[in-house]
C-alpha cells in the first residue's frame, strides 16, 4: 500500500455554513449551556476531485455511543437492502463466501443472509444498534472499522469475497485507513461495494443538508476513481440508486482483475461536462445554497405574517444543517414530530425546537409541515394522505 495520505492534505474552504452543533446532538433543556459548536466549512480537493467538510470536530464521534438511527424504521430501506442482498448474492458470492458489512446498524441488510450458506457478519461501533442486530440473529462486531481494531477480524484475512457498506464511507474521516482495512480482509478476487449520497444529486437538488459532522465527504465517480487507483484498486462498475435523494453504488476490485464496465466512463464524462469533477461546480453550489436559504426564509416569514402555523416533520440529522444555516428557530417552526424514542422530549441541536412524538402529528392542525426527511417523501406522503386532505401543505427547501 502506498504511504501517501491524500485526505490529510490541507484544503481551503470555498464556503461556510456557519456555526453548527452536532447534527444528531438532540438535547435536553438542562444541557443547552453545555452545547458545543464548530464551523461547518466545506472545501474541494482538486487533485482527487473530492468534496469534503473541513475541520470536523473531535467530539462528533460521541454520537455512536447511542446511535439515534435504526435502519429498520424505514420500510423502503428494508426493501432496498433486501433487493441489494439478492443482487450481491447472485452476482458476487459463492457457496460459503464470507461477507462483511461495515456500519451494519441494526442488521437490516445482513439479516437477508440468515439461513443461507453465506457467512455474513456485521461491524458497527454503536452498542445500541448492535444489540438489536444480535437479537435478530446477526453476528456483529461492536467496533469501529479501523486499523486499530482490524486484528479482531483476523480470521477473515484476505478471505472476504464482498465487503459492503451503505452510507458509511462518507462518515469516516480517514478514508485511507478504511482502504487499508479493506485490503487486509478482501480476497484476491473480492469486491468492495459501497453506496453513498451522490455529489451530482446534491448539486442538482441543492440539498446542502447532506453536509454535517457525520457526512464528511460527498463522493462522485471522479473522486472514487482517483482515490482507489492510488491504492492498487480499481472502480469497475457504478450504478445510480434512488435512496437518499440520489445515491451511487460503487463496485471496486483489485487492479486488473475485472473488465471495467462502460458505465464508469459514462459517469466520468457526465461529471466533467457538468462540473462535478472540478471546483467550478462548487462555486455554483455556493451561490445556489445562498439563494435557496433566501427563498425558504422569505417563504416561511411570509407564511408567519399570514398567521399560518408550521411544524417540522422528522427530526433528521439533515434538519440541523438547514435550521442552523437558515437561522430558523421555534418562532418560525413550532415543533418537530419524530418517531425516534431517543429524540422525543428533547430539543433540536442549536435552534432548540421541541421534538414531539409523531403520533401527535395526526391530531395536530398545522397549516404547513416542513418535510426534513425529504429523502423518504414517497413513504411519508403515502402514510400522511390525511394531512393533505385536511388542507395541510408540505414545505421544503428541496423540490418535493
Ligand atoms: P436521519 O435522516 O438523520 O437518519 O433521520 C431520520 C429521522 O426521521 C429519524 O429520527 C426518524 C424520522 N422519521 C420519521 O419520524 N418518520 C418517517 O416516516 C421517517 C422515514 C423518518
Q: What is the pLDDT of residues 266-325, one digit of tens each?
A: 999 999 999 999 999 999 999 999 999 999 999 999 999 999 999 999 999 999 999 999
For residue 322, is it within any domain? Answer: yes
Q: Hunting for cell 435550521 — which residue is that?
A: 323
CA pair distance 130, 140, nearest whole angstrom: 6
- Ligand 1 atom at minimal distance to the Cα of residue 376: 20
From the CB of 23, is ligand 1 less than 6 Å away?
no
Query: What pLDDT digit, counting tens, does each position of 202-231 carry?
Result: 999 999 999 999 899 999 999 999 999 999
CATH of the domain at 388: 3.40.50.720
Query: What pLDDT digit, counting tens, does each position of 152-197 carry?
Result: 999 999 999 999 999 999 999 899 999 999 999 999 999 999 999 9
CA pair distance 389, 27, nearest whole angstrom: 34
Asked if the model's pLDDT at residue 124 lies above 50, the reply is yes
- Tell me how far the alpha carbon of residue 71 lies from the centroid of ligand 1, in angstroms: 10
Q: How many domains does the chain have?
A: 1
From the CB of 317, is ligand 1 less than 6 Å away?
yes
For residue 114, is it within any domain? Answer: no
Asked if the model's pLDDT at residue 140 lies above 90, the reply is yes
Surface-to-core class of residue 12, CB atoms within 10 Å of its CB (0-12 exposed, 13-18 middle, 19+ buried) = exposed
pLDDT at 66: 82
From the CB of 73, is ligand 1 less than 6 Å away?
yes
Mean pLDDT over residues 122-143, rounded?
96
pLDDT at 9: 66
- Ligand 1 atom at minimal distance to the Cα of residue 68: 10
pLDDT at 7: 57
For residue 331, is it within any domain? Answer: yes
Percent of the chain with pLDDT over 70: 97
For residue 227, is it within any domain? Answer: no
pLDDT at 180: 96
- Tell me how far the alpha carbon of residue 25 lies from the centroid of ligand 1, in angstroms: 15
Q: Ligand 1 pocket test: which of 22, 243, 317, 338 has the largest number of ligand atoms within 8 Å of its C-beta?
A: 338
For residue 389, is it within any domain? Answer: yes
- Ligand 1 atom at minimal distance to the Cα of residue 69: 4
For residue 344, is it within any domain? Answer: yes
How many other CB atoms are found less than 10 A from the CB of residue 291? 11
For residue 248, is it within any domain? Answer: no
Q: Is 55 helix (H, G, I), strand (E, B) or coil?
A: coil
Query: What pLDDT digit, counting tens, does each position of 28-85 carry?
Result: 999 999 999 999 999 999 999 999 999 788 766 677 788 878 899 888 899 999 999 9
Q: Ligand 1 pocket test: which of 78, 314, 347, 360 has the largest number of ligand atoms within 8 Å of its C-beta?
A: 314
Residue range(s) defining the domain that contains residue 349? 305-395
Asked if the model's pLDDT at residue 3 lies above 90, the reply is no
For residue 381, is it within any domain? Answer: yes
Amino acid at each position: 500500500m502506498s504511504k501517501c495520505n491524500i485526505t490529510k492534505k490541507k484544503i481551503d474552504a470555498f464556503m461556510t455554513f456557519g456555526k453548527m452543533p452536532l447534527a444528531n446532538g438532540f438535547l435536553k433543556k438542562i444541557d443547552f449551556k453545555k452545547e458545543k459548536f464548530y464551523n461547518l466549512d466545506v472545501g474541494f480537493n482538486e487533485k482527487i476531485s473530492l468534496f469534503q467538510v473541513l475541520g470536523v470536530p473531535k467530539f462528533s464521534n460521541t454520537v455512536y455511543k447511542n446511535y439515534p438511527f435504526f435502519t429498520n424504521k424505514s420500510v423502503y430501506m428494508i426493501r432496498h437492502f433486501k433487493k441489494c442482498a439478492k443482487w450481491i448474492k447472485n452476482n458476487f458470492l459463492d457457496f460459503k463466501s464470507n461477507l462483511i458489512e461495515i456500519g451494519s446498524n441494526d442488521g437490516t441488510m445482513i439479516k437477508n443472509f440468515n439461513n443461507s450458506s453465506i457467512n455474513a457478519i456485521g461491524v458497527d461501533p454503536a452498542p445500541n444498534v448492535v444489540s438489536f442486530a444480535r437479537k435478530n440473529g446477526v453476528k456483529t462486531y461492536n467496533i469501529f472499522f479501523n486499523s486499530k481494531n482490524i486484528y479482531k477480524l483476523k480470521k477473515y484475512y484476505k478471505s472476504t469475497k464482498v465487503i459492503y457498506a451503505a452510507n458509511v464511507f462518507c462518515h469516516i474521516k480517514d478514508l485511507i485507513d478504511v482502504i487499508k482495512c479493506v485490503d487486509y480482509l478482501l480476497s484476491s478476487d473480492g469486491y468492495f461495494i459501497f453506496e453513498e449520497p451522490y455529489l451530482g444529486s446534491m448539486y442538482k437538488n441543492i440539498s446542502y443538508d447532506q453536509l454535517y459532522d457525520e457526512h464528511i465527504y460527498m463522493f462522485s465517480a471522479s473522486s472514487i476513481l482517483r482515490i482507489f487507483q492510488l491504492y492498487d484498486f480499481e472502480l469497475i462498475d457504478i450504478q445510480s440508486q434512488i435512496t437518499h435523494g440520489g445515491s451511487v453504488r460503487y463496485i471496486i476490485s483489485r487492479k486488473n482483475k475485472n473488465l471495467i464496465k462502460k458505465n464508469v466512463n459514462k459517469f466520468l464524462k457526465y461529471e466533467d461536462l457538468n462540473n462535478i469533477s472540478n471546483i467550478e461546480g462548487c462555486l455554483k453550489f455556493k451561490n445556489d445554497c445562498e439563494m435557496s436559504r433566501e427563498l425558504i426564509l422569505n417563504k416561511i416569514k411570509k407564511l408567519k405574517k399570514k398567521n399560518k402555523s408550521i411544524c417540522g416533520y422528522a427530526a433528521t440529522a439533515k434538519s440541523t444543517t438547514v435550521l442552523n444555516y437558515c437561522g430558523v428557530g421555534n418562532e418560525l417552526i413550532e415543533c418537530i414530530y419524530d418517531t425516534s424514542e431517543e429524540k422525543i422530549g428533547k430539543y433540536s441541536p442549536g435552534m432548540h425546537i421541541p421534538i414531539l412524538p409523531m403520533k401527535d402529528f395526526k391530531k395536530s392542525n398545522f397549516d404547513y409541515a416542513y418535510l426534513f426527511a425529504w429523502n423518504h417523501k414517497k413513504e411519508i406522503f403515502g402514510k400522511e394522505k390525511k394531512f393533505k386532505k385536511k388542507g395541510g401543505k408540505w414545505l421544503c427547501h428541496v423540490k418535493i
